[in-house]
Homo-oligomer: A and B are copies of this chain.
């Protein structure tokens, strides 16, 4: 009834994220033989070796990066035919967080996430690349549509992905933006890359997976206490804020951030303090019970 069995190679791809020096970083394998550009840690799923997909993924990451993953969640399953030009047809992508970026292994490194997406970091205001490169290129693409209906569709898609005067830039639509740029030929991975290429390229469709991950992280930040997976057990409120800002890609208002976190009951003081250049900051720890009390506890900034 459900057809003859057909066997397919299944890959597991890992987006392993950390934040250090206020910079979101992602674990990548450096280029080498068979690897034209940076690639995510990945491997084949072997059901005989691993009971679950999670377990298989953890095993590959340990093997390739000597790293034990903390929080792990499934991202998306990509199944385009010949998506990476090889035999593999299905790949299940996962998103993982680790507390520190110290562990290393040969051929693997922590790379700043925004090198692949320079247009996504608005912490110092709107990046020049948006004004100088993206808006003109996308506007030209919209204008190039001959059919009025097609032009209207492009207009709408553009407005959603990169905003306009009326519709502001939506920081969560990372994937929509990347796919738009891919289609227009603004990224090296495009089928027909144009003369101007944005950001660093990755192997296969790994930058698309990374875009999916960044969008997911930004959406989840508000609703779930994800950030704490990236911080040391003890941290200060400014450190927490800077980590959130790094991932959200924009600045937050410190007094309000403080109130949001405290009112949510997400943290408690340890009693100690951390030396800084100014007034010392109180050390805090995460209070896991918060999630039981308020099931949607996150840092509800807008």
- The smallest C-beta distance from A162 to any residue of chain B, in angstroms, reads 11
Which one of B60, B77, B80, B295 lies within 8 Å of A77 (CB-CB)? Answer: B77
Task: Give the bracket for the number of chain A residues in contact with chain B.
Answer: 35 or more
Which one of B4, B45, B76 lies within 8 Å of A6 (CB-CB)? Answer: B45
| Cα A47 to Cα B89 with chains together (Å) | 7
Q: Is the CB of B160 within 8 A of A87?
A: no
User: Closest chain B residue to A10 by CB distance?
Assistant: B8
Which one of B6, B46, B92, B292 lies within 8 Å of A9 (CB-CB)? Answer: B6
Q: Is the CB of A5 within 8 A of B87?
A: yes
Q: Is the CB of A81 within 8 A of B44?
A: no
Q: Is the CB of A2 within 8 A of B42?
A: yes
List of B residues within 8 angstroms of A51 by Cβ:
80-81
| Cα A296 to Cα B167 with chains together (Å) | 11
| Cα A95 to Cα B166 with chains together (Å) | 32
List of B residues within 8 angstroms of A74 by Cβ:
76-77
A71 within 8 A of B: no
- The smallest C-beta distance from A248 to any residue of chain B, in angstroms, reads 15
| Cα A45 to Cα B74 with chains together (Å) | 20
| Cα A6 to Cα B47 with chains together (Å) | 9
List of B residues within 8 angstroms of A296 by Cβ:
170
| Cα A234 to Cα B44 with chains together (Å) | 49
List of B residues within 8 angstroms of A4 by Cβ:
44
List of B residues within 8 angstroms of A289 by Cβ:
156
A53 within 8 A of B: yes
- The smallest C-beta distance from A137 to any residue of chain B, in angstroms, reads 20
Q: Is the CB of B43 within 8 A of A2?
A: yes
A7 within 8 A of B: yes
| Cα A182 to Cα B46 with chains together (Å) | 27
**Binary interface encoding of chain A residues 116-153 relative to chain B, with 1 for a CB under 8 A from any of its CBs, else 0:** 00000000000000000000000000000000000000
Main secondary structure of the interface of A (DSSP, over half): loop
Q: Is the CB of A160 within 8 A of B6?
A: no
Question: Which chain A residues (22-47) contact chain B, with CB distance < 8 Å?
Answer: 34, 42-47
| Cα A234 to Cα B294 with chains together (Å) | 38
- The smallest C-beta distance from A142 to any residue of chain B, in angstroms, reads 13
List of B residues within 8 angstroms of A293 by Cβ:
166-167
| Cα A277 to Cα B4 with chains together (Å) | 54
A173 within 8 A of B: yes
A238 within 8 A of B: no
Which one of B44, B77, B80, B292 lies within 8 Å of A5 (CB-CB)? Answer: B44
**Binary interface encoding of chain A residues 157-173 relative to chain B, with 1 for a CB under 8 A from any of its CBs, else 0:** 00110000011001001
New A-B contacts (12) at CB < 8 Å, excluding given A5-B87, A5-B88: A2-B60, A5-B9, A5-B44, A6-B9, A8-B10, A47-B81, A52-B79, A53-B79, A77-B92, A156-B289, A167-B294, A170-B295
